[in-house]
Chain A
Amino acid sequence: MRTLLIGTLMHAKHMSRSPFEVSLALVIPVVQATMAVHLFRAGQEPHRLLEAAVGAGLMGVWSSVLFGSGGAIQNQRWQGTLEMIIMAPRRPVTVLLPITAATAITGTYAMLATLLWGRLLYGIPLDLARPYAFLAATLACVAGLGMFGLLLASTFVLLRNANALANPLEYPIWLLSGMLVPISVLPSWTVPIAAVLPTTWGARAVREATVGGPVWPSIGICLAIGTGCLLLGAYCLTSFERRARAAATLALS
């Protein structure tokens, strides 16, 4: 546990000092808040502004986890630290979970910043239906995403060109999890896919907390699926770590 905490802290510290990530983290929320506002102004649905802003914030969390876990592992491969951390006498999960957790935390910041910019620039009222539930839902969402990120990270350990995989995953998950538009408008074949993504339930919990609704079941499902991802991710990591050692993909050369 201590290892997980220290690891998360150090990785968050390391990421927060990257000028590239920092500028992204400053710009993206503004862009997202703007997007949310204009999408829904145009749609003559001002009452849904807050909902849209929350959705946009969640998109930020997802992007952060996706590129974070993919990018972080790729970066570590570049820096030569991937070998050093894999060589630690620990389970691979213990080593990698802090990285995805750190990215999920950076992502939460993106979400909060989106709301804040929405408030400052466009005067979106922050009247959350259930403020405490909103907090809980956000935390659950971050935890769920962090654990889902681990599952993704496990594949990034194996593949040397992990980035190529991360890019095409960004938009579909936004859509499928109903961060951008309600799931109900998507074609029916997407429903089962959406139902197994922790992001869907996390987004739903956050939305329910924003506009009112039974928040806790969604939180529960999000965390349960997240835990499933964690277990599966841990299993995959152990086997992928071995395969990466056989295929020599831990280092660049």
Chain B
Amino acid sequence: MKTKNTTSYNRRQFMKHLSKGAAITLIMPSVLSQGLTSCQQRAESFNTLAMQTNDLIKMMAEFTQVYKQHAASDIYTREAACMKVQWRGIVQDIQPGDLFAGRSTQPPIGCRPQSNEGFLGYYIHKNAIKKLYNAPDISAESKKTLDELVDFWNTENTVAKTKKAFTPEMTAALPSDDYVNESGIAFTLWRMSGVQFDYGKLIRNGIVGLKAEIEDYRKQVDAGSDKHKFYTAALSTLDTFSEVSLFYAEQALKLASQAGGGQKKELQEMAAVLKNVATEKPKSFREGLQLMYLYNALDGARNYGRMDDSLGDLYTADIESGKIDEEEAIRLLTGIWKLMAARNYRYDTRLIIGGKGRINEANADKLALAIMETSKRVQDIVPQVALRFYTGQNPALYQKGLEVLATGHPFPMLYNDDVNIPSVQAAFDVPYDEAIHAIQYGCGEYVLNHRSVGTPSGLINLLQALIVTINKGIDPKTGKHMGMPAANYAKYNDFKTFDDLFAAYKEQVEYHVVQLAKHEELEYVFAGKDNAYFLSSILMDDCLKNGKGMFEGGIRYMGGTLESYGNSNTADSFTAIKELVYEKKKLTLEQVRQMINANFEGFAKERKMLLDAPKYGNDNDTADQMLVEIHNHLCHFTRQQRENTGLHSYLVVIINNDANTVMGQQTPASPDGRLAYTYMNPGNNPVGGADKNGVTAFLNSLVKPSTAIHAGAVQNMKFSKELFAENRPMLEALLQTYWQNGGAQAMLTVVSRGDLEDAMVHPEKYQNLIVRVGGFSERFVNLPPETHREVLSRTLY
């Protein structure tokens, strides 16, 4: 048993750490010391922060109590007070071998911009709650408490409040958010993802600097004003951060007292680091990493910005002074990589290196190289490192990137500044000086680093839109009406001409996009009504200046995005219909309708005709032009929606997580010959296996759809190991040409087909085979068979 020894939590010491002279209303959690006591009580290994069921429910009850107590107060004060309770449900114990603190989880009830189970703001995770009910150690009293909590939050959570505000038109067009289990043309998404912080500011200023800035702002506003409350609550939230950091310092010291040798020293060092970054400016690379990671974990953000830029100076200073060598730096980075892997946000965890717009490029480049070397050695599915490059950049970075890719590791993803910057200028309608800050998050959506938000709040399945249109409003899967009103079809003359059909499809798409844009706006409004999201907003331009949370209008550019799926299948479907029905007249549209509704049963010959029609991905002008038309229509119409909303931009993203597969499983057979309930194409890629004309033709097709009208499109390319190993100069010439031709981005997987096929049979031998599934990477053996087939179907060059 542990005694109450060593350094128990010292509130006075904590107060001393807080910035001097600041008049801060601290809403100190009264239970803080209780938390510690209970830790010590249950400590088998000396203390554990991870809460047990009843404690967790107690914490959530208290969180709810605090929330209710602030019914009459402003959202800022309420949020800051809630944060002071919530963090105890977030922090997780330091584990043996950890170099950094900041393991974290999400309590089933809480508050953050983006949380599990598709939530934002104040949330309740229904599945997690179910688990709590079933926990063996739950007490009867806790159950009762939980009943009350569920009852309260079921209506009080931010999503529920937003849903209540849906207009009838929105409800009609967007009936569901369950794209996994239901068929549909458009779905809503709930989260505020893709927030990319100004980590550079955090690291250059430290908590002390941030607070000084906030205090300066506060001095300029009237006491009692909303802004005054905003700044006060922001300061209080930073105090919560300090508290958490010190709390961890404490834990590290306790662990150190029990450990021996190298471990002891390591933990003591960790404690010293945490103690300093709790309030002060980080003085070393290690401190910078700790500050960034812990801040991110406490907020719940899932991406790590331009890490080479934010930490390059500290890295270089430490290397140059001899404080650490490169090996030590890689060891530290590996420590962070390990925590990222434990958090396991495989759709996020983006980390961007390289490119224009970094403050000290020379220093950043050095760190970028170390980051890639770390990824090469660790070979895990996160972080998703993305390398930006431009003509004139230090070539060592690009070369290092290829070297890592050659090992079969899917990172870095490659982003071509020469194409992306002008594209972002046009699509986002921002000047060059802002466009150079475009980076990606999540599955490849672009945002302007800490200047804009751009979360995708909806998705559209273009292929389903076409299938339903051909069926004049009936979803063949359910036999029920779907999409735009049946009466709207009357003007399209029974699709006598191709133009009639195409126009009807466009109206179908537009009918949904209009509401998706309005939904995005509505989601922001409600996200902003409930919270300032202080940890995020403090590091997002220009929230402090404006004295507002990012979703209340504090952010410089309030942008939104729409995920679109099935683009290539839709284009190929139209190509086949145009050729076979309207030009060669070998089939009627009615026949096509019957064929797809019958999943081609009894129509094998006709299906072959559809399959033999030209396909996107072969540098075939007919097929590619169709894709461009689909693309232009969707992107332009979506972009126009900023005029119908208060959004600075509303743009399509042609990204891919596994939604192409998941939604495909709900989508009937299509006129491109695709069978019912099978995957759709990933991202901007051709339909798997449809590209048969060689890699140069494939790449030439990829660059045809404009990059200047959307907020990101991903392309997956699979190359063989042999090509990388034996023909490197040719591979480089190939990529170089692709970039010159307008290639914006590439996700390369280097495998041999034999590897993939064998991995399906002998998964045990391929534990480390990682493949890209569009927007994220995964061990091949962990993917479901349907996704295996999708990955295998992509042509290997």
- The answer to whether A binds B is no
Which residues of B line the A interface, CB within 8 A?
none
